[in-house]
Structure 1
């Protein structure tokens, strides 16, 4: 018999968050969904399912994050799975974006994730169980021109999750970072993607082309969000979940290309790579 889990999903009003919420409820589990406003309106989209509870949360507000998690615990009694989904994209050359644009992206994608994770962990540590699932990106595994700054927030999520997995394993808590490729969601819409206000003509052949591509492929991406949501359910029910889970053949291919190039660099520069140790270390 399936044990009913309680999920806490951030950014549930659209995109991956909405699709995952729908799939989790269909599986029979409970969901605490965070939205930016009108929780009653959100719940009505799911026919007022009693297994769904919505709370208002701006993930950049640490106090609000703690209150939302406490509210969730008060309502359902526990949180078994945390999905840190809230985030948005920034399409810009590294040089183009303003400091404010970059800081805002980090506030949501990195510090917001940390706010919610730190709010949930005391409860998971007390129950000695749980699973933190952080959503990264294909851009968090390998850089693209135009996505370097956004990708850097996801590189941070990758590193944070790796450390969490090591720190939490003795406590019976799992941590997984999921890196989706290009999925057919609203990510490339204005609601989820910010483009730098500054445009430098010298990047026309790189970042400029990426801006055109982003417009052209919007709503035509290869990944199926509903299949992604089912992958999340499989992940949450796994006895031995992975630390890294790339989703989509585009992500897998991109990562394999990167690791192959990295291995070639090591081979080409092997003497330099291994030649920087102290002499006594080399002798040993």
Structure 2
């Protein structure tokens, strides 16, 4: 499981889910370059062979496993170094199409991976983090958690829930010295649009045109996205190292990427303007 170079490392211990491709892989490489002790995980262990050679510990992990199996996994992972300083929940995929086009089993699978898998994996580690009174949880969400794009509604709804969980964890875990932040990436040149990471709802309904257009444009843009996942991964660790310290204050959510920052800023400004526009309908409901 461990390579000989792992034992020579002395930096913080970071466990990352979904390391076979994309952000998970890039985050692992950046952490290794900074002398972190990395525990890289994926559903298929063979996809992590190069990370193991580079110095990572590698473990098989299916985040959709039952909670009792995840508890066993957490115990095994914790024992590797006797601690985990940073848990990065990255595993996930995109279910595309109109919301109505997702079959019940497809919807359940989307939520099992993107939301319940993240929730159950985090819960498996929380007893250790609480007892140690230290640690950071980094949840890789998406700008879609706020933007709620047509054609990706089910995916976006899971990310909105991830943002909400992260907000609550940041408050609930504060008394234990455990921090939590939700990272909201924009469009990055990762493997999300590849067949293994992009699923299309199979209950196709020809009356929907907007979701088809959105997905078509998304696929056309594959490999032309301006976002560099390697640079983003460096930025994430720079952010962690600059802000996670004794007394340091983290934002609840961090937009990642020029597009995400601009679009999310616009989103919040429009919501505030909308609230003011319809203010008269919101007020006047208290007892006299």
TM-score (norm 1): 0.92
Unpaired runs of 5+ in structure 1? 280-284
Counterpart residue number, 1:60: 64
* Residue aligning to 1:214: 218
**Shift in Å at residue 3 of structure 1?**
6.9
Equivalent positions of 1:132-281 (< 5 A) are: 132-204=137-209, 206-237=210-241, 238=243, 239=245, 240=248, 241-279=250-288
How many Å separate the matches in 2 of 1:235 and 1:117?
A: 21
Distance 1:46 1:96, change over 3 A: closer
Note if contact 1:81-1:236 (Cα within 8 Å) is conserved in structure 2: no
Contact 2:28 2:51 in 1 (8 A): no
Q: CA deviation at 1:18?
A: 0.5
Q: 2:2 matched to 1:23?
A: no
Match of 2:83 in 1: 78
C-alpha separation in 2, matches of 1:117 and 1:72:
13
Say whether the 8 Å CA contact 1:57–1:64 is kept in structure 2: no
Q: Which residue of 1 aligns with 2:5?
A: none
Deviation at 1:248, TM superposition (A): 0.9
- Alignment partners' CA distance in 1, 2:30 and 2:262: 27
Contact 2:192 2:198 in 1 (8 A): yes
* Number of aligned positions between the proteins: 274
Q: Is the 8 A contact 1:9 1:34 kept in 2?
A: yes
Q: CA shift at 1:55, angstroms?
A: 0.8
Displaced runs of 4 or more, over 4 A? none
Cα separation, 2, equivalents of 1:211 and 1:49: 36
8 Å Cα contact 2:10/2:35 also seen in 1:
no
| 2: CA distance, partners of 1:47 / 1:59 | 20
CA contact (8 A) 1:93 1:147 kept: yes
Gaps of 5+ in 2: 1-8
Distance in structure 2 (CA, Å) of the matches to 1:225 and 1:107: 25
> Structure 2 length normalisation: TM-score?
0.91
Following the alignment from structure 1 to structure 2, what is the Cα–Cα distance between the partners of residues 276 and 203? 39
RMSD (Å), alpha carbons: 1.6
Aligned residue number for residue 282 of structure 1? none
Q: Secondary structure at the match of 1:95?
A: helix
Residue 48 of structure 1: SS of its match in structure 2?
helix
